[in-house]
Amino acid sequence: MTSNSNAAITLLDVVESIRNVPDFPIPGIQFKDITTAIKRPEIFRYMLDQTAAYYQNMGITKVVGIESRGFILGGALAARLNAGFVPIRKPGKLPAPTFSKSYSLEYGENILHIHQDALETNDVVLLHDDLLATGGSAKAAIELIRNFAVKSIHVNFICELSFLNGAAQIGEGIEVFSLVKF
């Protein structure tokens, strides 16, 4: 296979390239580690190509990535979609005034922040992260994005743990597209 071709890559290859790490970060959690997928250029490119193709004609103006794994494909998606990239970060990481939102996740609590000047009302936003589990961080990120009264919000994940029903946390009228579902 040449470096410019994804012809031989399939979703099964993506699934098989994602490492499962038992009992991380706490006992009972089966962590889906995308680093084993993104280190392979053909898998990374396939994930980017498939996701960008899905959103190509939706008028995305900003891709918002959730710290930190949402930055990896999120930045590349923004470039591919000719959109800006906006980070949503954990406490103490953004230097200017922020909006913040706390949330619960399957193994604790956290807070997310976005700069108060990050988005505009005419933006069409693609929220991206690596994994949808219980939906806590995605729901918090959507609430942060809603502070800006943007035109529309789309939500995307590389992986979704569908048995946890996190998509139900996303809310009415927002479509969720996950490349891979476990």
Sheet architecture: strand order including 152-160 = 84-88, 62-66, 124-132, 152-160, 176-181
φ and ψ of 96, to 5 deg: -105, 175
Q: Which two tokens stand for residue 22?
A: 């038992």
Show which residues are catalytic. Answer: 69, 106
The residue written with tokens 């919000």 in the block is 153
44 within 8 A of 9, measured Cβ to Cβ: no
The half-sphere exposure of 135 on its side-chain side, counting CA atoms within 13 A, is 16
Sign of CA dihedral 90, 77, 172, 120: positive
Rounded-to-integer distance, Cα 31 and Cα 146, Å: 29
